[in-house]
Structures are given as structure tokens and as C-alpha cells.
Amino acid sequence: MADHPVTDQKPLLDIRNLFVRFHTDAGLVHAVNGLNLSLRKGRSLGFVGETGAGKTTTALAALQLIQSPPGETRGEIFFEGQDVMKMTEAEKRALRGGKIAMIFQDPMSSLNPIMTVEEQIMEMVSLHSTLANARERAREMLTLVGIRPERGKDYPHQLSGGMRQRVGIAIALACEPSLLIADEPTTALDVTIQAQVIDLIRKLQNAVRTSLLLITHDLGVVAEICDEVAIMYAGRLVEAADLRKLYKRPLHPYTQGLFDAVPRLDTAPGEKLAVIPGLTPDPTNLPKGCSFSPRCPNVRDVCRERSCGMTEHEPGHFVDCHFPLGSRGDEK
């Protein structure tokens, strides 16, 4: 399908025409708008975009954690060939943590403050595994993420931010899920600890062959971990390709804007960083046509009238733009 990036191999996660709306006092929030996304087994996908683009909402929809009301979810979500949206509540609970696990942005808010970290890993193992010795598995997972097993008796507040994030990773991987969703896993950490967590996720993902959906706004982190990249803006995918293709030749003006805004080592002292002009659109009042058109340097009348939709500009490289960068007619 022209508007749906697919591969020859049957995808592990296959999201089709996903819409997520929220009914609020301020109006109807259009959080995700016709999203198509797929991820193959053993692959890692960087899901990139500004805050509010709809990345986390998409992940929560895949886990069926959008509360209704106020949320409203339409579309199809398939995991290992099964329609997640048609599962029973018991099947959904078995899916979460067992086959799909999530590392949250703030480990302090996702960990239980009145349970030791060992108990929290044991609880996950007991819910989703038939392993007889959950305590032994908990100690094994702590060792795997670089924490001494005896620290398992500690409570979350007794650990540093980096150690809490490692505990979150241990909990997520305790039952060897088929898919790991990491939601901005390094945002709250200092640079040195960020590098350690990135390296740990990469090593563990390769070791257990777990597929990875990495939600982030950091293109540097994506380059370290991911095989493929999907760029999201205002609830829609605007570009998707494998890592090398997209980094070598971004096609969408928004993607290029993200790359231009990345600080460079050769930037002259005092030189201002590049920025994308304007603000992301109000999700209760999205512009007609391409949502990026009010900020786009290459905008044309047709862009303001209708969206192009995701099309395959070159083999394996999809973009939602009437005038992809580098093509004829993209320059003013």
C-alpha cells in the first residue's frame, strides 16, 4: 500500500489507520491522525518527533491503555497477527508486560515507592511467567542490568536516577517480551548515565532479540540504537525509512529541520543554533492540508489545501510531502 510502509516479512506490530481523540473542555484533541506503522521481529524503530506529536499516545494505544472516556481509539492494531483491539481484558493484561513491555520516561513515577525493587521484579515475573523461583529471576535481572543483587532490598528512593532506570529495564525484560517500548528512557538522566543506559538497551535488545520501539526526540540516540526511523508530526507520520537512508538524505522539510537543529561540534562560538520557525499546531484546531505547512519553508498552495499522504519516494523511503527535498519543484 502506498500510504503504509510494509516489508516482505510479516510485521510483529502492525498499526493501521490509527486515530486517537480526546474529548476535553478545550475541545476535541486530535492526538493521532490516520497513523500506519509496522515493526518486524528483532528490529529496532526510532519513533521521533517533538513533544505532543502523538508518539506516546500511539504506544499507549498499542497497549490498549487509552481510557474511554475521555479517549476514543479507531483503527486496527495487530500484534503477532492478533487484533489487539478485539482482545478480551484478560488477553490484554497477559499482553502487557508479558509480550509487550514498556520502559517509562520517569522511573520514579513508574516504580512503586513502598515495594523493594526486587519485589517489583518478582511481581512482574509472577504475573507473566511460570518460573518457579521469581526471587532468583529478580536477582538475575538486576545482575544483567549492572546492579548488585543485594541492592534489590532497596526501595526506589534509595537509588540514583540511573539505577532506577536500570531497574525499569530489568522489570520490562524480566519475562523476555517480544516487543520493548522505551519512552524517552534517557530524558531525566545526565549525559554520562544516558550513554550507559543507551549502551545497556542496545546490548540487551541484541542479546534477547527483542524488537524495540524507541520513542524519543533525540536523533543522536536513534543513531546509536535503531535500524529504522519514523518521523511524526502533529499526530501523523511524515517520513519513514531505514536509518542510513533517512540520515543520509532526509526528504521532508520537518525532518531536515530536526537535523539542522542538532548542535554540532564545529559550530562557531556565539553562533546561534538553527530552529524550526513557529510552533506546533493546536491539536484541537489542526490546519487544513499538511499540518506542517504553516512552518514549512517550501510551502505551496496545494500544501495548504490537502495532505499528500505517505508515498514511496524511493525504494523503502516513504514521505508525506508534495515537494520532497531534492526532487524537482522543491525549491522556491
DSSP label of 276: -
Going by C-alpha positions, the residue among 7, 23, 4, 101 that lies closest to residue 69 is: 23
Residues of the chain short of pLDDT 50, as ranges, are 1-8, 331-332
Query: 517489583: which residue's cell?
Result: 120
Q: Spell out the residues 6+ positions from residue 192 whose beta carbon is closer than 8 angstroms to its own.
A: none
**What's the CA gap between 294 and 281, in Å, rounded?**
9
* Amino acid, res. 37: L
* Amino acid, res. 248: K
Going by C-alpha positions, the residue among 160, 135, 164 that lies closest to residue 150 is: 135
List Cβ<8 Å contacts ≥24 apart for 264-269.
Answer: none
So what's the pLDDT on residue 188? 67
So what's the pLDDT on residue 286? 93
Residue 144 near residue 204, CB atoms below 8 Å = yes
So what's the pLDDT on residue 130? 65
Q: What are phi and psi of 89, to 5 degrees?
A: -60, -35
CATH superfamily of the domain spanning 13-99+177-262+275-319 = P-loop containing nucleotide triphosphate hydrolases (3.40.50.300)
Q: What are phi and psi of 314, to 5 degrees?
A: -150, 160
Residue 79 near residue 30, CB atoms below 8 Å = no
Which of helix, strand or coil describes residue 206?
helix
So what's the pLDDT on residue 202? 83
C-alpha cell at 152: 534489590
pTM for the model stands at 0.88
Edge-to-edge strands, sheet with 82-83: 27-39, 13-24, 71-79, 82-83
So what's the pLDDT on residue 331? 46
C-alpha cell at 15: 498499526
- DSSP string covering 118-155: HHHHHHHHHHH---S-HHHHHHHHHHHTT--GGGGGS-
**What's the CA gap between 173 and 200, in Å, rounded?**
12
**What's the CA gap between 45 and 64, in Å, rounded?**
20
C-alpha cell at 96: 502487557
**What's the CA gap between 54 and 17, in Å, rounded?**
14
Which of helix, strand or coil describes residue 229?
strand
**What's the CA gap between 133 and 99, in Å, rounded?**
20
Spans of all domains in the chain: 13-99+177-262+275-319
Residue 319 near residue 325, CB atoms below 8 Å = no
